[in-house]
Structure 1
Amino acid sequence: MKFPSKRRAGAVVAVLSGVVLALSSTSAQAATDGPDVIAHRGSSGMAPENTAAAIDLAVRQRADHVEIDVQRTKDGKLVNFHDCTMERTTDVEDLYPGRPSYRVSDFTWNELRRLDAGSWFHDDYAGERIITLDTVIRHLQHTRTGLLAEISPCGQYGTTIATDLADNLNGKPGYVGKALARRQLAVQSFETDDARTFHDLMPDIPIGILDADRPTDTELVELSQWADQINPQHTVTDQTLVDRIHQLGMTTNVWTVDEPGAIRKMTTLGVDGIITDYPQTLTQR
């Protein structure tokens, strides 16, 4: 993952890898090399989102990174799931009829692991399961594909989900050290408080701010004091915004870019990463 040229991210990787020069990345270099290909919830245009099948397919398609969504079960297990409730992509209503809520946080891991998270996408994926963050890391850690983990914005967690993610990663120093050395790990959030909480706990891991709207210059300046990435929706992204983010020493990954014309436009703007449901469109694999 492309690091900002300004601050601690490059420094910590240099310490971990011992190769300082190899980890200096300017915006011009990023544009020359082309944007990182970030598989949105895995290769989710071709396999059921956030499942092992989608992650493994993204790896085979040689995506640079996989973007996932981190939530917490009732009994404290961190799982990879996007929606705050599970009706859209699982058979939770059939398996657990009459429950007052179908939020991820209202089910134990043993309950969640029984759900079919693949049939909604296609019969070929019947029986695909919800997977844990630990499983995601096991699928990625010996590959060339990195991890961009989004802290869930679901309101029931507050900032405790950011703390849980930091605790989980702190328990994996070997993985974190190698991933940072290879520029294969970052965290992002729509919630600035969550992002700041995580940053305070694990300042060596690059932190990004997601935004569906165009951030103001005042917001960008304030965020540049501690954030590493500004990750806006591609529809609000133009050359002025990309240049300003780079000028402030941050990088930018735009989302969710699937249409070929939009991919070409974002590449021309010099964005650092493109988050897409179809990574093979950019990798041609």
Structure 2
Amino acid sequence: MKYLVLRCGSAWAPSSEMLAKLGSVQMHEVGAVPSRQELRVLDAAAREILPVDPTPSLDEIAARPDVAHLGAPGFAPQPVPEPLRVVICGNDAALSAVLTRAMRADYLWVEFAFVPSGESTAAQNWGLPTDAAEAWALAVAGQVRPAPLIRNDAGQAVAGSATITQWEDEAGHTGEITGEVIVDSTVLLRHGKGSGAPSVRSGEPTYGAKLVPMLDAPGIVAARATGPIFGTPPPPRGLRAKLQARMRPVRPGALDDASVLTGRAVQAGGPALRVVVDGVSSKRAVKRVTFYRHLRDLQVVRP
């Protein structure tokens, strides 16, 4: 097995003694969120092991009449002469950048391991140790367990979580969302003036939605946010102020457990939405976004 270790920013790094035990290993220092230029080392390592992929392309898979790829995640079908394991030391945004590059270049047969720095939703999802040394031991010696890869229509892979909220107003406030979020064919939220949503009639605040990749089919779990996920909400006025005064305090990032849905895809639409993937925000407001399960699965090293 060949190892490629990416230390992202000032993240924890393995000692020279740890690296020496691996034999065939490369270690590279990259940015906190690696750029495409920095990830060329990953492109080269994958191309060296498998110059030509003999398996069906993504277009060929999509054209098939069956939907087997939507079931339980499976091992990569590529006939790899020697496994390549990439160990990412960094945060969720770094992991997302690496997975995004591998997805776009279509070499998801690569094994991915993660040594998280600080709080990490991806590490929680994958059941990884919080101690760096323990996470490293698992990363280099653990087994691959395939998992769905969730992406959006902008070509970003979701490592830990993604959120859909309202874009901030001119005063810099991020208020309740105006729009609709649908998981497969079920409405998760429909909120805003004239929407007739139950959350509006009851006075319960709705700030958007949060989604997290699953470890099995169908791929995505999503919930409605009843507290502000980012920024400061504008001060309530009129009827909204009276309703909120009677309710319990709004907790930042709070989710409605009763709203949880699972599915293969999440679609959202609204006049001005902010999309955040693993802490990295879209550069401008969007009117629609779709998250869905990719046609190829991740080869993840996890317990």
User: Which structure features the higher share of helix residues?
Assistant: 1
The TM tier, using the shorter chain, reads: under 0.3
Q: How does the TM-score come out when normalised to structure 2? A: 0.23
Higher relative contact order (CA 8 A, sep 6+): 1
Higher strand share: 2
